[in-house]
Amino acid sequence: MKELTYKNKKLHFNEFDLTEIAKKFKTPFFVYSENILTQNYLHFFNSAAQTGLINPLVCFALKSNSNKELLKILASLGSGADIVSGGELKRALEAGIPPEKIVFSGVGKTEEEIIFALKVKRNGIYSFNVESLEELELINSCAVKLKKTARICFRLNPVVQPKTHKYISTGNKTHKFGLLEADIMSALHHRKYWTNSKLVGISIHIGSQLLDLKATKSAIIKLCDVALKTKEPLEFLDVGGGLGVDYHPDETKKLPHLSDYMNLVSTTLNQHFYSKTELRPRVVFEPGRRIVAKAGIFVMKVLRNKISENNHFVIVDGGMNDFMRPSLYGAYHELLTIKEGKGINPCHIVGPICESSDCFGSHRLMPQLKSGDFIVLCDAGAYGYSMGSNYNLRGRPLETLIKKNKRVVVINKAQDYSKLL
Ligand code: LLP
């Protein structure tokens, strides 16, 4: 991870010496970098704008990280939000993200959440990204009751098969997400859906941690076809999120550059949409991981070693309840010691949770470690804290932020027994 480097044998995160913070706070905890978060957002937005995409709107996917202080930074940079619950809507608004930059995805929006999203402004949020016809009917009926006009975007299921982990692939018929083209077309002709609703966009989101963009291109072509067929004056085309990051060194070679991704989006939209119509809808993006994964790390302390014949376990104080990706997806995350040392010892870095999947890495070459040493799990900013739980009745960990001026602030306190029990 290029954001992490050793200087004088001490690990630095974006030039910041981690030895100091590791001793200052009670482990385990997350550390985020305002510099990296800002750079990642601006890089994403500027690449979109420089490619000539029309009035791009970047709606950060809150599910990847919903820390309020981080969202405030993104809001100040102009970010919108992709939300999937009333909780995320409240959080986005509290962080200062305006309703006209919020899109609401998800297959299970409740009546209460829909009403909340309709009430936030005269005609509610920027768009409901609708995933079923029953949902469309419910949104319309809520809008009737509130005497409003709901802004609707159809999430198209483009029936493609991206290369990614099966749990985070979302663009095929077998997945619960999105609507098939035939259902979108037939819904357009049923008046019952549209008395208090207006179609303003079409969206796709085919999966996450995408490194190969073939399926993305096919899905955008499908998005264009369906958008043209609706013959509606759409205000936006939403190409979703999903762009991956390099967690493993082998992934660095495959990692699409942002400029390549933006060029693909731009040329595909030009060829398959803008060249065929007078309409000029803007482009919406819903990135999560690409913005925040590399802006965060997770710091843990070694509790003890345990050797079972030829298996060497290093037991740390962070667990799968704090950071789930390795146990849930078998995801690879680099593990580094804060004090530089030569990797001589193949070991399993495991947490305290009573599950064998509570393992952050197997057969990792580590220096000799002892109780009190610190280990950093890299690329932990996305789907880290936000997927955590209180499993085994463990309190949620602390979150800290290295500000631009290099001051370190606590942005979310650890949950102690008084809050937990
Ligand atoms: N838009 C929608 C509708 C989504 O469902 C998602 C992610 C995103 C945008 C943002 O995707 P991103 O740019 O972050 O890939 N927990 C998994 C990832 C689940 C992604 C769910 N949806 C993981 O840790 O890999």
Successive 10-residue mean pLDDT values, the chain, 421 residues: 91 95 96 98 98 96 98 98 98 98 98 98 94 98 98 96 87 92 96 97 97 96 98 98 97 96 98 98 98 98 97 98 98 98 96 98 97 98 98 98 97 97 94
**Alpha-carbon distance 126 to 295, whole Å?**
27
Using the atom order of ligand 1, give the atom closest to the CA of residue 244.
15
Counting from 1 in the atom list of ligand 1, the atom nearest the Cα of 325 is 24
pLDDT of residue 168: 85
Task: Give the model's pLDDT for residue 171.
Answer: 86
Distance 288 CA to ligand 1 centre (A): 6
Whether 242 is in the pocket of ligand 1, judged by its Cβ within 6 Å, is: yes
- Cβ–ligand 1 distance for 286 under 6 Å, the answer yes
- Distance from the alpha carbon of residue 178 to the mean position of ligand 1, in angstroms: 14
**Atom number in ligand 1 closest to CA 64:** 14
Candidates 63, 83, 157, 179: which one to mutate for ligand 1, based on the most atoms within 8 Å of Cβ?
63
Residues across the chain: 421
- In angstroms, the CA 379 to CA 245 distance is 9
* Residue-level pLDDT at 2: 80
What global pTM score does this model have? Answer: 0.98
Whole-angstrom CA distances from 138 to 121, 143, 342, 420 are: 19, 9, 60, 37
Q: What is the pLDDT of residue 169?
A: 85
Distance 290 CA to ligand 1 centre (A): 10
CB 248 within 8 A of CB 36: no
- Distance in angstroms (rounded) separating the CA atoms of residues 160 and 367: 44
- Region for residue 393 given its phi and psi (left: phi exceeds 0; alpha: psi -120 to 50; beta: otherwise): left
Active-site pick, 59, 142, 354, 359: 354
Question: What's the CATH class of domain 4-33+294-419?
Answer: mainly beta
Helix (H, G, I), strand (E, B) or coil at 32: strand
The residue among 132, 133, 81, 24 whose CA lies nearest residue 288 is 81
Whether 168 lines ligand 1, by a CB cut-off of 6 Å, is: yes
- pLDDT number for residue 163: 86
- Amino acid code (one letter) for 366: M
CATH superfamily of 98-285: Alanine racemase (3.20.20.10)
Condensed to tens digits (0 to 9), the pLDDT of residues 151-192 reads 999 999 999 988 888 888 888 888 999 999 999 999 999 999
User: Tell me, what's the pLDDT at 122?
Assistant: 87
Q: Are 256 and 213 in contact (CB under 8 A)?
A: yes
Assess contact for 345 and 337: CB atoms under 8 A: no
How far apart CA 394 and CA 316 sit, in angstroms, is: 14
- 107 CA to centre of ligand 1 in angstroms: 14
> Residue 354 catalytic?
yes
Read off the DSSP letter of residue 378.
S
Determine whether the shortest distance from the Cβ of 333 to ligand 1 is under 6 A: no
Domain extent listing, the chain: 4-33+294-419, 98-285
